[in-house]
Amino acid sequence: MRAVQIFEHGGPEVLKLVELPDPVAGPGEVLVRVTAASINHLDLWVRRGMPGFPIPMPHIPGCDGTGVIAALGDGVTDIAVGDRVVILPGHSSGESAHDLAGDDHLSDDYGIRGEHSNGVDCELVALERRYVMRLPANVDPVEAAAVPLVFLTAWGMLVERAKLAEGETVLVLAGTSGVGSAAIQIALDRGARVITTAGSEAKRALCRELGAHEVLDHHDADWPKLVKQLTAGRGCDVVVEHVGPATWDASMRCLARNGRLVTCGGTTGPKVSILLPHLFMKNLSLLGSTMGPARAFPAIFDGVARGAFKPVIDRVMPLDEIVEAHRRLEAGQALGKIVLRIGD
């Protein structure tokens, strides 16, 4: 099979298209012929190298993918060759207390494909049966490849951690990012009012197309004041924060009493400050969130099938153009996800 591998960390040029032996489905496994895989910023970080996080080389990147069942391992009887599937990006032993409680993403041994293990930027992949889910009949597999990581992350933030309720107001930072665009749609589907920020007119137009009620200029220093004006001085019940130091103080100021700020990362740095009187006087909650549980996938793809959730896709490119795809995403030229078309 053809596969993308990196043999060392560096720029997009370290991505190499190679020929590898076809994998075989072992007992309890399925062999998936990959149809499409999308590129996430996580793929860029893995390729560049992350301090303190060694990755065995050579390494196949790719977190998100869809495909077709090509073969069944011994003991697999509840899915058939030819079925279209989505590949779950997370994996764990399945044996921890968190696994057994349905919160696999909280397990100590939880990992993400393309980061903690080889990924799906390849033509064939053998996986445990529990890591694939049938795609709804009306869902396009190329489009679906852009769903798993970002929608699972946004679901974990809004549904699992912030416990978003109908009628609440949500502020989504950077609404055209993968997580941001997914968060807008999940919040709308749950009956929330959505305010979001974006850094260009094209991105603000996209946020409006996604259904955001109000869209603010991310580069306007007064956007936190505008949030307060739009909420009659009250602030937002939930803030979806994944930017970090560049927006943290403003995000905190935008919270209403009993508000919840939920964060899944910090693209502008790892350290922020907190004013403790502000935190306790307003009864605020700060919530960390990483990924989401595998049990959310049926609900997420039900939303895709209903048309409530639609991944934002910049373009679809062939696998042999992965170097250019990484360059485009890294340069900030992509308005949405880039999807690699790998097979039929």
Q: Quick count: other Cβ atoms within 10 Å of Cβ 266?
A: 17
CATH number of 2-146+312-341: 3.90.180.10
pTM: predicted TM-score of the whole model, two decimal places: 0.94
By CB atoms closer than 10 A (0-12, 13-18, 19+), residue 108 is exposed
As beta bridge partners, residue 316 has 339
Summarised one tens digit per residue, pLDDT across range 47-95 is 999 888 999 999 999 999 999 999 999 999 999 999 999 999 999 999 9
**pLDDT value for 270:** 86
**pLDDT value for 51:** 87
Give me the DSSP letters along 53-91. Answer: B---SSB---SEEEEEEEEE-TT--SS-TT-EEEE-SEE
* pLDDT, averaged in runs of 10, over the chain (344 residues): 97 98 98 97 93 93 97 97 97 93 94 96 98 96 97 97 98 94 98 96 95 95 95 97 92 97 90 93 96 96 96 96 96 91 92
Instruction: Provide CATH 3.90.180.10 ranges for the chain.
Output: 2-146+312-341
Tokens of 248: 């943290």
CATH number of 151-288: 3.40.50.720
Amino acid (one-letter) located at 192: A
The whole-chain average pLDDT of the chain stands at 95
Instruction: Provide CATH 3.40.50.720 ranges for the chain.
Output: 151-288
**pLDDT value for 335:** 87
Element (DSSP H or E) covering residue 6: strand 2-6
**pLDDT value for 289:** 96
Tokens of 265: 């990362």
